[in-house]
A and B are shown apart, each in its own frame.
Chain A
Amino acid sequence: MFGILRAYILIALWQARPGLAGYDITDAITYCFVTQAFIAPMQLFGGGLGIPERIRSGDIALDLVRPAPLQAWTLAEDVGRAAYLFLARGIPPMLVGAAVFGVVLPGGPGQWAAFLTGFALAIVVSFGWRYLIALSVCWLVDDRGVAVLSMVLTTFFSGMMVPLHIFPGWLADVARSLPWAAMVQLPTDLYLGKAPVMETLAFQAFWAAVLLGLGALGTRAIRHKVVIQGG
């Protein structure tokens, strides 16, 4: 429903400016529905991790003494959920888009492979970001503030609302170098075949590594934090 409304806005814009950002109208429509399909697997509106709730209830102490690293374990859980949501909540919007407006599919197995790899990396980047947000609850106690802040940053700077390429001037350059671009804009460009494959995947892998690294540091930090509170 929301995807359809967004598609009409993009159509109107691309009718006024054909070829904007190197997309034609069909590309713009496809962009809209591919990004719509990302919402659930990447939990773009935030949440998806049970950590904030467990920090507040104190159950996190149990999780930390388990013989499995918290971060890897949560990642595994999240990837599993993303795979399911990709099928259950990702495919239907694409079908709606295809039925109402018509969308393009990646041309050839090479583009499919690039897209699926980019999508998998995007899931990891998205997890890395949400994991950090979830850990921040340990210091902030109330998770609603950061949750909303994260949602605002993610939806705007990922290209979820409009493609980052049409942002004016320097804002576009800034937005394209931030981690959120690796979640939505880049995998969608891989899908459409509008981005150099190797560079894009390297950029995504870079942010995935940075966020996971920070997450690992954060995990160590909360271990101390929890111990100080007496567990």
Chain B
Amino acid sequence: MVSTYARLAWTWTRAAAAYPGSFVLMIVLGFVTTALDVAVILVVFANTTTLVGFSRDEVLFLYGAASVSFAICDMFVSNIDRVSQHIKAGTLDTFLIRPVSAWLQLCADRFNANRIGRVLQAVLVLGYAVAALELDWRRAWIIPVMVITGIVIFAALWTLAGAAQFVLTDAPELVNAFTYGGHQLTQYPLSIYARDLVRSVTYVLPLAFVNWQPGLYALGRDDPLGTPEFMRFLGPAAALALALAAALAWRQGIRHYRSTGS
């Protein structure tokens, strides 16, 4: 499965690298675009030392953790949102008759290696924040767990979004509100948002487990909204549950797909 993906991804990368100037430029620009979010955080903290009780480096830590997961998914999974175009154009049929899972093929569809710029940017921010905060190493073990949890959650979200396209056919903007919106939401401490919103992203759509709950543990903080300590470790379970739901939804979508017939 991995080797198939790698081979498909490599094909697209080679195609894109045929225009090396454009390719390098896009990597740099991907880096710059995402750096804008960091610029905003820096501007905000040029005006205040704490935001809802969180320091600049703590916010950068939360931002970095969420963005590493998000950027990796953006690179490896997000191509699946092109499924709506394939459904409309009838080209999904070709994916279904090839001897590789449609999900895998769609994730690798037009694989965009220049998104590595975004991953790099997020890794740098996270690295900086971890170094600057001098986190307690007895708590820092949760960071890799957190990043992997985040990857699973975002990958599941994208799969759900893709599955929704089978029903909605043409509403990528609607589902983008959940994927890109989810990333936007997790960039800041969740305690800046309204309680109901935080509750819904904790108990309904488990975005709070991407970086907020485990992040609080890594930072050695109590939840300002008062969730109990054991919630910090529920991330993997929540991610697994969401992944299962996404897998089911995707299967349902594929099963109920009707070709436009060509």
Residues of A within 8 A of B (CB): 1-2, 5, 8-9, 11-13, 15-17, 20, 142, 144-145, 148-149, 151-152, 155-156, 161-162, 166-168
Contact = CB atoms under 8 A, between A and B. Distances in A.
15 contacts: A1-B177, A5-B193, A8-B193, A9-B44, A9-B188, A12-B188, A16-B48, A144-B26, A145-B25, A148-B32, A152-B32, A156-B36, A162-B44, A166-B43, A168-B47
A167 B22 contact: no
Given A13-B44, A148-B29, A152-B29, 18 more contacts: A1-B177, A2-B177, A5-B184, A5-B185, A5-B193, A8-B188, A9-B192, A11-B192, A16-B51, A20-B47, A142-B22, A144-B22, A145-B29, A148-B26, A148-B32, A156-B39, A162-B43, A166-B43
Nearest to B181: A1
B52 interface: yes
B15 interface: no
Contact of B22 (A5, A17, A145): A145
B47 A8 contact: no
Contacts of B52: 12, 15-16
A168 B44 contact: no
Nearest to A161: B40
Interface residues of B, number: 26
A113 B22 CA distance: 45
B47 A155 contact: no
A149 B46 CA distance: 25
A145 B40 contact: no
A86 B154 CA distance: 33
A13 B42 CA distance: 12
B18 interface: no
Contacts of A16: 47-48, 50-52
Contacts of A144: 22, 26
B146 to A, nearest CB: 21
A16 B194 CA distance: 16
A12 B192 contact: yes
B11 interface: no
